[in-house]
Structure 1
Amino acid sequence: MYKVRQANPMENLLGLPSPVSFSIWWNGGSILGVLLGVQILTGLFLSMHYTADMTNTFASVIHIIRDTPGGWLFRNIHANGASLFFVFMYMHIGRGLYYQSYISQPRTWMVGVTIYVVSMGVAFVGYVLPWGQMSFWGATVITNLISAIPYIGPSAVEWVWGGFSVGQSTLNRFFSLHFILPFLIGGLSGLHLLFLHEKGSTNPLGEMSHMSKVPFHPYFTWKDFVGFLFAFFMLALLGFFYPFILGDPENFNQASSMVTPVHIQPEWYFLFAYAILRCIPNKLGGVIALVFSFAILYFLPLAASGKIAPASFTPPYQVVYWNLIAVFLMLTWLGACPIEEPYIMLAVPTTILYFLLYLILIMMPTLWVKLISNSDNS
C-alpha cells in the first residue's frame, strides 16, 4: 500500500509558497529574528557578570567593559543591538502599514503588535539596569506615570517600585523581567510565523493568490542572507566604531537621587511617545495619549472593512502614509528637544496630526474601493 510521505517542518518552511514580487522590505521579519537571537545570547553572557545590587551595579557594568575578556564587545553589541532591533521593527511595521497587512492578516498583525509592545517593555527595563543617571531618572519619571490612574495609581506605583521610590527592589524586578521577557518575545515570534504561514505572505501587489508563487528556498533564503550580512555590518559598525553614538552622556555618571539631570529623556525609539506625553498638560490625558500612540496599531484590523486598496495603485494612500512617517520623525525630534518654546507649541498640532493621519489611513482603503467601484458602475 502506498504511503504519502509527510514533509518535516523544515521542508515545509523551506518550501513555503512565496510571492515572486517580494521586495527587500520583506527581509525585516527574518532580520528581527536574528537580532533577537543576538540579543538573547549577548544578554545571557552579560548576566553572568552583572550584579543587581544598587551599591555595585554601576561598578559591575564598568567591570564588564574593562576587566572581562570580550566584555566590552558583548556590552556594545547588546546596547546597540537594541537600537538596531527597533530600527528594523519600525521598518517592519511601516511595511505592514504601507501594504495593509493588518487587513489581509489580522491575527498575524495583532501578534506582531504584541511583540512590539513587549519589546518596548523589555527595552525600558533594560535601560534601567546600567544604573546611570539617565537610567535612574528615566525609570523614576516613566514609572511615576502609573500614579495618574484614578484611585489605584499611587498604590500601583509603590507596588512596581517595591517601596516608596526607585530602589533595590525595583532593580531586582527589572532585572528579572529583562531576563525572562525576551523568551516570551521568542514564543510570540513563533506564533507570529505560524499565523503567517497559515495564509501566506502579502506582496506589493496586494493579492494573496497562489498562482504566482515560488518556493521560499532557494529564491528568498539568499535574499535573507544578504539582509543578515547588512544587519551584522551595521551591528559591527556601531559596536566597534560608534558604540556610544545612540546613548546619553548622562548615563556615564552613577545614579544619584540627589542630582537631577537637566534634560531627562528616554532612548530614541520612545521619543515620539514622550513628545506626545509632554505636550498634554493634564497628566492622565498625557498618559492615555502616550499609550494610544502605539496601542492604536491594535485598532487597525478592527476598524478596517476587509477591503484592500494596494498602496502601489492608491496615490492618496501613499500621500497619507508618507505624511504619517514625516510626523512620526518630527515627534521623535521634538521628544529630544528641551521642554520650552517653540518645541512645546510645535508638539501639540503634530500630535493631533499624528492621530488624525492614522484615522484617515484606516478609512482610506474602504473609501478608495467605493470610489473605484462607483466610477466603474458609472
Structure 2
Amino acid sequence: MTGPDTAHSDTATTETHIRVGTRASALALAQAQLIAEAITKTSGTPVDLVPITSDGDRSTESLASIGGTGVFASALREALLADQCDVLVHSLKDLPTAAHPGLIVGAIPHRGDARDALCARDALTLATLPAGARVGTGSPRRVAQLKAARPDLDVVDIRGNVGTRLGRVGAGDLDAVVLAAAGLSRLGLLDVVTEFFPLQEWPTAPGQGALGIEVREESGGASFPALTDILAALNHAPSHLAAVAERCVLAELEAGCAAPVGATAIVDGGMLLLTATVYRTDGTEQLTSSHAVVLEGTAAEQVAQSYGLGAVVGHQLLADGAAELVGAARDSRPDTP
C-alpha cells in the first residue's frame, strides 16, 4: 500500500491497484487510509491514495458564503468521472444529498462517533465557560445550538483544518472550538476534548461520523470487476440505514450540507428510529420531529424504508414551518473573522 507521498493520479495505475481519491487534508488522508487498509484486508488488493485539492480547500471565505461543505466534493467527483481514481472517500456529512450523474455511494462502513465535542482551554465545559467567551465553529447548526444553550457566548465563524482550529484555542484567540468527535478520534486527538455533547440533547449533522465510499455507476469500471464484492464487504448495514434516513431529511427540506439541521438515527431491536431538529441560527427557535419504522424484508427493502422514514420526518418538519428557518439561514452570510 502506498501513502499520499507516493500516490499518482494518472490512468497508468496498474490494474492490480485500486486508486482511492481523497481531499488532501490530514483528516481526509487519515480517513482514506482507514478505507485503504480495509480494502487491502478484505481483498488483498494494493491501494494507492490520490490526494485532490478542492475549491473549498483553497478558499479562505466563510463556509456558508461559498455554498456549504458540498464545495469539497466537486473536485473529487470530477477526478472520479475522469478516471483519475477508482473510488472516493468522503466525510458523509460533507456530501450533497442530491445524486451526482454517473456516481453512486457504493458503501458506508461502520460509523464512527457521531457526537460533537467541545475543545476548550483550561478543561472548561459549555456550562463553565465564562460569560462572553469566544467559541469558534464553521457550522450554522452549531452556532444555533451554542446560542440556544449559552446566549451570552461570542460565537465566531472560523475556517481551517482541525489543527488550525485547535491552534486558535492554544494561542488564546478563542476560548473553545466545537469539532466532530469522529474526526478527532481518527487523528488521535481525543485528549483535547473537554466535553462530549450527548446526541439526545445536541443532534449533529446528518451522516456525521460516517464515511461514504463513492464509485462510478458501473461499480468502479471494467478494470475492477471485484469492486462490487469489496464494497459489499465494507458496507455496515446499520450505519448505512441510519445515514440514509438522516440525509433524506436534508433532501426533503431542500437544505444543503451546512444547513442548521441536526439528525440522529439508530437501529435498535429491528427498528430504525429517527429524530431531526431544524434551528433558527440565532438560537431562539427550533422544530423537532421523531418517527420510527420496523425494518423488514431484504437489504434493499430496508434501505427503501430508511428513505421513507426520512421523508416522513422531513415532511412533518416542513408542515411545522421548517422552510422558514432553513430559508433564514440560507439568506444569512456570516463575516469571516
More strand by share: 2
Normalising by the smaller structure, the TM-score range is 0.3 to 0.5
What's the TM-score, normalizing by structure 1? Answer: 0.30
Which of structures 1 and 2 has the bigger CA Rg?
1
What's the TM-score, normalizing by structure 2? Answer: 0.33
More helix by share: 1
Using CA pairs under 8 Å that are at least 6 residues apart, name the structure with larger relative contact order, 1 or 2: 1
